[in-house]
Structure 1
Amino acid sequence: MTRAMSWSEWARHDATALAERVRAGEITAAELAAQTRDAVVALNPTLDAVVEIFDDVVADPTRDGMDPTGVFAGVPYLMKDLGPTLKGRLQEMGSLLMQGNRAAADSHLTDKIRKAGLNIIGRSTTPEFGVCSSAENTICVTRNPWNTDYTTCGSSAGSAAMVAAGATPISHGTDGGGSIRIPAGVNGLVGLKPSRGVFSIAPGGSDLSSVVSSQGCLTRSVRDTAAFVDACRGGAPGEFMPYWTADEPYVDLVRRDPGKLRIAMSHQWGPYSASPEIVAELERAGRFLEDLGHHVEWALPAIDFAAAYQAQTTCYITNFAQTIALLLEPRGLTKPPEDKVEPMNVRLWAAGIDATYSERTRMQLAFNTASRGFGAFFETFDLILTPTMAKPTPPIGTREYLTVSDNPSVHDWFANLWAIFAYTPLSNLCGIPGLSMPFGRLPGGLPMGIQLQTRQGGDGLLLQVAAQVERALGGQWNGGAMPTHHVTGL
């Protein structure tokens, strides 16, 4: 089969570089789509990361309204099977309950993505309703392209696997507690959870009604993430909150280094701390930033971490209970059918469906207290540096983190999640940005993320620092290594 470029040449291009070649007339958007489709067809039997390819959009990239003059000029893009909807397309949310569900309209962000020139060519895998840490159920078992014995984590599982494997340089993710940053970390990618009030989730939700969840993307380069934020940010008519703006485009900001920054570093967050091999990589990242001219010291926000995690657990239980209830109602159901909804999600619904306003009020007060604590901390420090995860990547089948778990306690199940994903959820609680960069490596060779967090609206600073690190590494994230399952092996 004749392709527009060899796989080795393809792998050297990020989304920005592919778009430049389209604008130069060297390649077409249809050729890009066909090459990504070929990669998915070859890799998906092993990785199980893509639910569906839209063959009609591969054949005609402008069919659904993609703007070929947008910054990404037709670069292929996978949409996580959760979050923004695509009119007339299936959205099944990783659940047997939702099989055959079709969206009635595009989301506001869908329109932004298409206007940015991204060609949405298919759906990527996610765990049921995006609740758990890995896409492993009766519908899919999404595997890590670096070592298929291990998970991609989640919930942006399929997007992370396919971007890491080189099928496409950019794809969609959502992050309600780390679901962009965690799979970015374990798959060797750049993953930004933006500030609350950057990307819209209209019309089905808002930053008021869905306070912890953010939209975003997974990429292999900082400039691609910067370009995505520039093109897709902004609220829809009727949004409750003002939306953050930037003094200059992030694609321009990331071209120059920041001044000397005061960076805190920590791995001890309340009751949770990182395993020794992860602490060693965190310390190496701290030294690296010092060598770039920044001041780095051990420091921690003065907040009640236990109360914050408890509030985050309340938020998850009550939010997901209502999400499930709203999916049941149009199907004429009053409770989740146990043959179509996974056991932990059934328990989660039962635990949260009758929650009181008083419980939510206490949760919101804890959110406020934690947010003020982080806000005060960032008056002294510019950034805080942590691992992305506290423990190594779990092997496939580690049931304690899955919604197929037989743990009878929803609260104990969430406590297990916080023990491994300690460093990501509080930025969702506070609405601050967090970015996982693929700086670390685990002893067995799997990638390991290092996370930067900063004050609300400081997304550009995170991207600027990550770009400085990327340049200092000669553009070689992951030491230049490639996953075992990658397009260059096709």
Structure 2
Amino acid sequence: MPNDIYGADATELAALVRAGEVSPRELAEAAIAGIEETDPVLNFMVHRRFEEALADAGGPLPDGPLRGVPTVLKDLGQNLMTGQPNYAGSAVIRDLGVIADHDSNVTRKLLDAGLVVLGRTNVPEFGPTVTTEPVAFGPTLNPWDTSRSPGGSSGGSAAAVASGSVPLGHGGDAGGSIRIPASMTGLVGLKSSRGRMSMGPDQGEEPAGFAVEGAVTRTVRDAATIVDVLAGCEPGDPYTAPTPVRPFAAEVGVTPGRLRIGVTTGLGDFETDPACALAATQAGALLAELGHDVDASTPAPMQTQRSELMPHFFGTLSAQFAATMMELEGNLGQPLDLDRFEPLTRDHIETGRRMSAADAVRSRLVLNRFTRAMATWWSDDGWDLLVTPMMPVPPFLLGSLDFDPADRERSHDRIYAATQYSVPFNVTGQPAISLPLHWTPDGLPVGVQLVAAYGREDLLVRVASQLEEAAPWAHRRPPVFAGASVS
């Protein structure tokens, strides 16, 4: 066993397995020991399949690029796994006792890559917020400061990875849900282009093409590898992203050339904490030192269309919530008691039920206009990359985003503000990555976001790996980290 088993990334662990220096079962045992040590503090696991995972690890695993590497699945999204529950962070769904009878395409591809799934991680109920504090399972804590949130909705997976328990964790991103937890826990979070991977067989797009599946990781090479693993269309998919000329993992370490990069440190209608603005400023300065042409610039629609964008984005989420409940009730053959859902979930369902078909279609029209307007900054104005803060604030305290039905407008505004830098690129479908390039004086991670034109994950990976080499972060460890009491 390597000495730093809990600090290694998935690429390194897979190489050790291939070389015969460690077995998949030994890695699974180490990961289980790490979870047993850190989860009682952080509360990131909602379902464990340890015995099944040990059996998988001891059996004939597929000879994929991540053979034998332990991982966890986010308990939300297109990641059904045969014989396993999927609670979606909800006591209502948990109590129904539903067990999946098939694998989602995402799950199948992760298993085909040779990954060993140890269980499922905590999420906010149905994922409409960026903190992981469901009533059904309790809050997940940030390993850098347990009074703070790890973000959401992939907060459980982020805590599992940041604590060293597993080298990567599955996540999904419909409004920042991979990138925001990555920022708040000192990890890498890559959101791929719309259509890069299949959401089947249960969905075509979800919702309105905002969501993609992926992972939170410790390194850029792992982030690129997961996109390679998941990429590709399946029969019945409504659309697919352009096929890359080579695997994205092959772009790690490739010189990106001299790029024109714009840096945004704030948006006029929202406040950005000075620490987060500084993170973007310093990232821009580092990129300039690396030979790129860097200037202050913001795509105009991010400044001028924000007030219109957010209500239509979140309105589309509400319509999706209402449709999901309609499907669920249809499958059950009975109505569900809305009072059993959390206030934020209930608010979205009720809002969606009040919307007309014309309201939903108009929102799509507004979002499509925003997408086309945003694209011109890259296509017509000649910029290659945009750098922004990932979050407008450093990791926030647990309870900061609690939803108050008596003050719903203010409650929604807090979520709007937290997603000001992430949501635009779920709407446009562009690839974006959060990198852990900054820490506050009191030791809290602050992520920086890089955004490329649609389909250009290759460029993101090249520049991200360039920054990773210039300002490495893999040596950093949070106070809660696996291995302190594991022999």
TM-score band w.r.t. shorter chain: over 0.9
- Corresponding letter in the other structure for 2:50: D
Q: How does 1:205-220 map to 2 (within 5 A)?
A: 205-207=203-205, 210-220=208-218
Asked if 2 retains the 8 angstrom alpha-carbon contact of 1:153 and 1:182, the reply is yes
Q: Residue 373 of structure 2: SS of its match in structure 1? A: helix
Supply the distance in 1 between the matched residues of 2:193 and 2:409 (Cα, whole angstroms): 27
User: Would you say 1:109 and 2:110 are equivalent positions?
Assistant: no
Distance 1:94 1:209, change over 3 A: closer
Match of 1:346 in 2: 346
Asked if 2 retains the 8 angstrom alpha-carbon contact of 1:144 and 1:150, the reply is yes
Give the paired residue count.
Answer: 476
Supply the distance in 1 between the matched residues of 2:60 and 2:191 (Cα, whole angstroms): 27
Match of 2:427 in 1: 429
Q: How does 1:470-481 map to 2 (within 5 A)?
A: 470-473=468-471, 475-477=472-474, 480-481=475-476
Q: How does 1:82-481 map to 2 (within 5 A)?
A: 82-83=76-77, 84-99=79-94, 100-138=97-135, 139-207=137-205, 210-303=208-301, 304-338=305-339, 340-379=340-379, 380-398=382-400, 401-402=401-402, 405-408=403-406, 410-473=408-471, 475-477=472-474, 480-481=475-476
| Bigger shift: residues 240-249 or 168-177 | 240-249
Distance 1:271 1:333, change over 3 A: farther
Supply the distance in 2 between the matched residues of 1:216 and 1:416 (Cα, whole angstroms): 26
Deviations 1:29-63 (A, max 9, x none): 11111110110011110000011221233322268
- Corresponding letter in the other structure for 1:54: R
Supply the distance in 2 between the matched residues of 1:307 and 1:34 (Cα, whole angstroms): 50
Q: Residue 52 of structure 1: SS of its match in structure 2? A: strand
| Bigger shift: residues 40-49 or 357-366 | 357-366
Q: Residue 10 of structure 1: SS of its match in structure 2? A: coil
User: Would you say 1:53 and 2:48 are equivalent positions?
Assistant: yes
Supply the distance in 1 between the matched residues of 2:321 and 2:257 (Cα, whole angstroms): 42
Distance 1:64 1:27, change over 3 A: closer
Shift of 1:101: 2.2
Match of 1:38 in 2: 33
Supply the distance in 2 between the matched residues of 1:385 and 1:392 (Cα, whole angstroms): 17
- Corresponding letter in the other structure for 1:368: N
- Corresponding letter in the other structure for 1:88: G
Asked if 2 retains the 8 angstrom alpha-carbon contact of 1:208 and 1:241, the reply is no
Deviations 1:325-361 (A, max 9, x none): 32333344435431x3101211211111242121122
Shift of 1:393: 1.5
Asked if 2 retains the 8 angstrom alpha-carbon contact of 1:264 and 1:383, the reply is yes
Supply the distance in 1 between the matched residues of 2:442 and 2:455 (Cα, whole angstroms): 36
Shift of 1:137: 2.9
Asked if 1 retains the 8 angstrom alpha-carbon contact of 2:434 and 2:448, the reply is yes
Asked if 1 retains the 8 angstrom alpha-carbon contact of 2:44 and 2:156, the reply is yes
Task: Using structure 1 for the length normalisation, give the TM-score.
Answer: 0.93
Supply the distance in 1 between the matched residues of 2:312 and 2:268 (Cα, whole angstroms): 14
Asked if 2 retains the 8 angstrom alpha-carbon contact of 1:37 and 1:53, the reply is no
Q: Residue 300 of structure 2: SS of its match in structure 1? A: coil
- Corresponding letter in the other structure for 1:313: F
Shift of 1:209: 5.8
Asked if 2 retains the 8 angstrom alpha-carbon contact of 1:431 and 1:456, the reply is yes
Deviations 1:371-394 (A, max 9, x none): 112210012211111001112221
Asked if 1 retains the 8 angstrom alpha-carbon contact of 2:204 and 2:236, the reply is no
Supply the distance in 2 between the matched residues of 1:96 and 1:64 (Cα, whole angstroms): 34
Shift of 1:140: 2.1
Shift of 1:270: 4.8
Asked if 2 retains the 8 angstrom alpha-carbon contact of 1:125 and 1:142, the reply is yes
Supply the distance in 1 between the matched residues of 2:107 and 2:277 (Cα, whole angstroms): 39
Distance 1:209 1:397, change over 3 A: closer
Deviations 1:212-268 (A, max 9, x none): 111010100001111111122112111111333111111211121201111111133
Q: Residue 489 of structure 1: SS of its match in structure 2? A: coil
Supply the distance in 2 between the matched residues of 1:275 and 1:460 (Cα, whole angstroms): 30
* Percent of residue pairs identical: 33
Asked if 1 retains the 8 angstrom alpha-carbon contact of 2:25 and 2:58, the reply is no
- Corresponding letter in the other structure for 1:51: V
Deviations 1:253-300 (A, max 9, x none): 112120111111113335123112221222111111111111111111
List runs of 5+ in structure 1 lacking aligned partners.
none
- Corresponding letter in the other structure for 1:198: R
Asked if 1 retains the 8 angstrom alpha-carbon contact of 2:27 and 2:69, the reply is yes
- Corresponding letter in the other structure for 1:101: V
Distance 1:177 1:209, change over 3 A: closer
Distance 1:56 1:488, change over 3 A: closer
- Corresponding letter in the other structure for 2:314: T
Match of 1:81 in 2: 75
List runs of 5+ in structure 2 lacking aligned partners.
none
Shift of 1:125: 0.7
Distance 1:66 1:124, change over 3 A: farther
Supply the distance in 2 between the matched residues of 1:151 and 1:209 (Cα, whole angstroms): 25
Shift of 1:180: 0.2
